[in-house]
Amino acid sequence: MQQCRTSTLGLFSGMDAATFRHQPHADFSPVGWHLGHIAYIESLWLLEHCAGLKPLFPEYKQLFAADGLPKSERVNLPSLTDTRHYLDTVRAKVLNYLEVADLEAQERLLQFLLQHESQHAEIMTFVLLLGEVGDRESGGVGNSLGFQPQGGSVRVGEISCTSPLLPISPSPYPLAEMIRIPAGKFVQGSDSIEALDNERDRHWVYLDTYWIDRYPVTCGEYRKFMAASGYQNPEYWSTSGWEWLQTEKVTQPLYWHLAQENHPVFGVSYYEAEAYARFVGKRLPTEAEWEKAASWDEKRKQSRTYPWGEAPPFNQCNYNHCHTSPVDANQDGQSAYGCEDMLGNVWEWTASWFATYPGFQNYPYVGYSQVYFDQQHRVLKGGSWATRPWALRSSFRNWYYPYMRQILAGFRCASDDECG
């Protein structure tokens, strides 16, 4: 918990008041709100529900509760100093409580809170980047965030991350290669103590034979779609996707100025991913197809927590970092079927709507997952370069509106027949 908190606070080092309160997009709250919300949730569940204490800072309840205020009204925030005081006060009392708490009985809640903070930190990273793009487009001077795509380092707040990517041997496989996943059953989901409510219950799923890309689609591959007038040809777009495109009038992914040829494409909506897949004669994988390719060990007839096995992530994938890496940079992280780069780097769009698994029970509250089972959100899998290790596993589920274009999201393709 302390390690996670140190990383969270690093995002705010040197941040000015305007950035702290800025809302760069109507769908996302200011980063300052997310920081206060982390403190509010930790206080609510550990200090109020578990320790039985009275609410700390009751004046913050409406502001920082998820259902307290519309996102547009979350810009009227206390200062960063006052929010840090709130955060630090809650954490000090939490640590005192954990000295006497039944940790075994509360482990699932503690795991939830750790992942809750990790998820909000990932959102904050995205919101900061979104704010910088808005400043560039409006001719502003930008905020405290800098992004250097072509080498050296990336700067998020005052955290400078030097690229660890050393020269690597070229991949023995063509980047567009597909892998055959044979027909059969596999176990989807997770019942581990870390599993969130939407990952439960584990259940058997049968899938016919299909093919899936060994790697995520790269910027270089996506460039061919753009060069072939993919954004101008309705043949590649679904009806809803084409309607979205006529409204948005985009001709390239968001953040395309950061593109690198053999890195995964990012900043694409579900509609753009879907259109590219049609352009190359493929489709997007279902959530189940993606998870089987990532987790299922056919020889042992069991799912792996990570594509490579049960060892926690170390150097098998690109996570908890500051930028994307080449899709073939982590060949030690491949799945039992040989798929690569399935955890970290970019979240991957799937063709599935976010929905319940059999036996679903909300935890720890209805609003965490259940309200999003609305047939309006598509599932993304795999984590990103900004995902922290506590929210990184093959069974983890993310969800966005299909129109959302964000720097952490890319995709890979699937097919009923070999192609590519």
Beta carbons within 10 angstroms of residue 353's beta carbon: 16
Distance CA 215, CA 328 (A): 7
Distance CA 11, CA 420 (A): 41
Tell me the average pLDDT across 76-98: 98
- The dihedral sign for the CA sequence 169, 173, 178, 181: negative
**Band of pLDDT at residue 266, cut at 50, 70 and 90:** very high
What mean pLDDT is reported for the chain?
A: 91
Tell me the average pLDDT across 291-309: 97
Helix, coil or strand: residue 199: helix
Distance CA 272, CA 268 (A): 6
- Is residue 225 pLDDT above 90, yes or no? yes
3-state helix, strand, coil in the chain (%, to 5): 35, 15, 50
Distance CA 317, CA 327 (A): 10
Domain ranges of the chain: 2-153, 178-415
- The dihedral sign for the CA sequence 108, 113, 118, 124: positive
pLDDT at position 406 is 86
Answer yes or no: are the C-beta atoms of 202 and 361 closer than 8 Å: no
> Any idea which residue has 């004669």 for tokens?
281
> Any idea which residue has 């189940």 for tokens?
288
Protein fold of 178-415: paralog of FGE (formylglycine-generating enzyme) (3.90.1580)
Type of residue at 402: P
Residue 27: partners with Cβ closer than 8 Å, 6 or more residues away: 71, 401, 404
**Residue 326, CA atoms < 13 Å, CB-side half-sphere:** 16
0.85 exceeded by pTM:
yes
pLDDT at position 154 is 36
pLDDT at position 133 is 59
**Band of pLDDT at residue 195, cut at 50, 70 and 90:** very high
Protein fold of 2-153: Four Helix Bundle (Hemerythrin (Met), subunit A) (1.20.120)
CA 388 from chain centre, in angstroms, equals 10
Question: pLDDT tens digits, residue range 104-132?
Answer: 999 999 999 999 999 999 999 989 988 77
